[in-house]
Amino acid sequence: MATEVSQLQPAVNAGLRAQTAHSPIPRHRLLLGASHGQQGSHARRPRPSAARSSVSKTFLARLCEQAERYDEMVTFMKEVAKLGGELTVDERNLLSVAYKNVVGTRRASWRIISSIEQKEESKGSEKHVAIIKQYRQKIETELETVCKDVLEVLDESLIPNAATGESKVFYHKMKGDYHRYLAEFASGEKRKNAATAAHEAYKSATDVAQTELTPTHPIRLGLALNFSVFYYEILNSPDRACHLAKQAFDDAIAELDSLSEESYRDSTLIMQLLRDNLTLWTSSDNGEPEAAAEAPKAEEKTEEKAEAAEEKAPEEQ
């Protein structure tokens, strides 16, 4: 079970970015959604009326973020996305943060309820298990609704209007993430279909990233991080997960000398998350009980620093 950045509420608005100290990082990492970069020549230029509407709804979305009303934040940013044209980096961040929080709270709830359900099953408490199962299914329905909602926005508005390599990678990566979330709780044919769709989206993002983003670009590194976790957790393929994570790490290492000091910090932070995953997965596969026991706990805590690094990073490295 991969953890997301739902514990962190990145300060996207008003130029405030999460300033995270480089303290020890939890061990199992996965990156969700937030992008980075400077608004500039890539920002869309909608019609004046659409521009005014976009500014107004973006401002309201920032208010919702401050008030922690993420469902409404999603509504406003969906409307911005449907105005047409490519989102600015700031708009992209707001959309990502909105959905991240809406889905993140439900994913956290699902993990807790599933854990309680397993404990009650081990006790043989059939009455409690039946009640818990019904409630878990309610959460799964909510999760499915949110995931399908963001996937519809991606397919109908965001991906068709993506003009830069960075935005294409970001949105295909996001598509892979939300299909993966569906696969986390689905079973049978539904799980298989969600996993296939996630793999295709991650592969599309990787194809663009390898030609249009440098190996040290935070979005490319974040993609490798998520794709490798997908292999490990959804496809149960630790060898492929480790190979992908190690390749991304090694490719980035080879180009670190060309980075500025700020880019160096951001990129190496995400690289550390890749390396931590490799350490955890190798320990678990070698049968070390402590590592195996720690993995689920670490999965629930990860990505705050990785997302902060993505948000602070410059658009071009």
pLDDT at site 6: 34
Q: Which residue has the higher pLDDT, 92 or 53?
A: 92
Please tell me the class of the 5-12+26-312 domain: mainly alpha
Per-residue b or e along 173-188, where b marks 16 or more CB atoms closer than 10 Å to that residue's CB? bbbbbbbbbbbbbbee
**Token digits of residue 292:** 């195996």
Residue-wise DSSP of 92-134:
HHHHHHHHHHHHHHHHHHHHHHHHHHHHHHHHT-HHHHHHHHH
- Global pTM? 0.80
Closest CA to 3 of 26, 34, 35: 26
Question: Across residues 182-189, what is the average pLDDT?
Answer: 97
Res. 3: pLDDT tops 80: no
Res. 28: pLDDT tops 90: no
Q: What is the pLDDT of residues 262-310, one digit of tens each?
A: 778 889 999 999 999 999 999 876 665 555 445 444 444 445 455 555 6
125 φψ region: left (φ > 0), alpha (ψ -120 to 50), beta (else) = beta
Domain boundaries, the chain: 5-12+26-312
Average pLDDT, the chain: 82
